Amino acid sequence: MSIEGKSFFRLLEERIAASASLLCVGLDPRVEPGKNAARKIMNENRCLIDATAEYTACYKPNIAFYETHGPAGIEALEETLRLIPEDIPVILDAKRGDIGATAEAYAALVFDRLKVGAVTLSPYMGKSSAEPFLKYSNKGFFFLCRTSNPGAERLQELTVGSSGGDPLYIKVADEVNGWSTGSGVVVAGNDPASLAAVRRRFPEIWILAPGIGAQGGSVEEAVTAGIARGGSRLLPVVARGISGAKDPTEAAREFRDSINRAREMTLRNGVGSKAPSRSREYRKEEIFQGLVDTGCFRLGSFTLKSGLVSPFYLDLRRISSSPRLMRQVARAYASILPDQRDHKIQRLAGIPVAALPFATAISLETDIPMIYPRMNAKGHGTGNTVEGAWSSGERVVLVDDLITTGKSKIEAAEILRGEGLVMEDLVVLLERGKQGRKDMERNGIRLHSYARAEELFQYLLDRGIIGQNKFDELVAFIAD
């Protein structure tokens, strides 16, 4: 809770320094309604706070998970806030925004009764809807700018003004930036392009970045795109990725450490050096729907090479049967290629066989020449281990369709490196689970993924293609 007399952001900066962490942990208890719901909420939150406090810069309870249980839920929220150590700030995720007396009542609940340090607000009714909150001058405010839910771009990326104007979310950031010295913005952690755009526009604004973990956001990509020049001013939010982990303490530590590694690397390389680009011609929603329409994603019972039985199957080879989807996918890959200003990408290398169509399509989209490693060297003719025209010392980006573990990627990298090529980056369309990223880091390879499997699952849930139980089953399977 907030320490009397200190502004929210001063307290936050002190906590970041003391904990060596930018991690914001979500306190979103998913408890079934019933007479024991409040007790279950308290037990869950007590355990989570005890497990994560050491690695946490701030906590973010979402009020919806408490309000749904009525007065008992609000009491559970109040008790939860009392459990949080005094030196750890709290952001209440309430997304409030209304007129006159209604906004005043909301502000009184948030700051007078609950006494939290900061709140998320919706700015779409204008400054007058925020003014009752802004009167609390020592508090913090995070205004919704670019949200993490699938479909948000249909409104938030609408171009404002004449052709080539800014997207709406940038105009929103422009507007709220001057409302208060305590104003920050909410920008999706699973949308690094938007994070980078906001950071370029506002080098010092505080950004709350939800969507890390279960919603598909990558810590490395979010930090690279959104960190400020001083190495702070960004709060990556993780909720289910920690609360749903077998060991929440270890999960919080891993997220904290991953954020710090990405922060250190970005500061060494220069903030903004890898800001991703965005093309309005590709949308994650459209690609996800394309995967469903072409049968690339299927539900059922599938025995994997490892012997495990999976409740779903991804076969991205089927993308090549849809020229339209292949064009969208090529643009998606192009959007996540590492920055070329300092170290120009000289070759793309597709891993046979599944990635060859993708590498070809990306090459046509970007004009970057393509080569590919022979996973089984030729025993006749030239005996080439790498096909195509290339020279030793050139920088190569490896291309594959998806990643679960790093085995085949490491084999391909060893072939390329064995020929004197510089291979430090891998791009994939989908990242499934955490093992692949760990394997890449151990082998000195930076992983760039367009989307995570959890993000696809969230899209399927939001569209009613799967239910909550199936969603939980799929997420649990890839978390194991």
Q: What is the set of active-site residues?
A: 95
Burial of 122 (0-12, 13-18, 19+ CB in 10 A): middle
Token pair in block for residue 51: 């497990």
Q: What is the DSSP letter of 380?
A: S
222, 394, 437 from 252: Cα distances, Å: 17, 38, 17
Strand 24-27 relative to strand 58-61, pairing: parallel
Expressed in percent and rounded to 5, the helix, strand and coil fractions of the chain are 45, 20, 35
Q: Which residues partner with 452 through β-bridges? A: 431
CB 148 within 8 A of CB 189: yes
| CA 362/CA 238 separation, integer angstroms | 32
Q: Which residues partner with 302 through β-bridges? A: 310
3-class secondary-structure state, position 312: strand
Token pair in block for residue 236: 């990556």
Burial of 327 (0-12, 13-18, 19+ CB in 10 A): middle
Among residues 425, 439, 300, 314, which one has the least CA distance to residue 362?
A: 425
CB 172 within 8 A of CB 145: yes
Token pair in block for residue 264: 């250190």
Q: What is the largest CA-CA distance in the chain?
A: 82
Residue 432, φ and ψ in degrees, nearest 5:
-115, 110
- Beta strand ranges found along 16-69 (DSSP E): 24-27, 58-61
Look at the chain and count its residues: 480
Amino acid identity, residue 186? V
Strand 24-27 relative to strand 234-238, pairing: parallel
CB 237 within 8 A of CB 24: yes
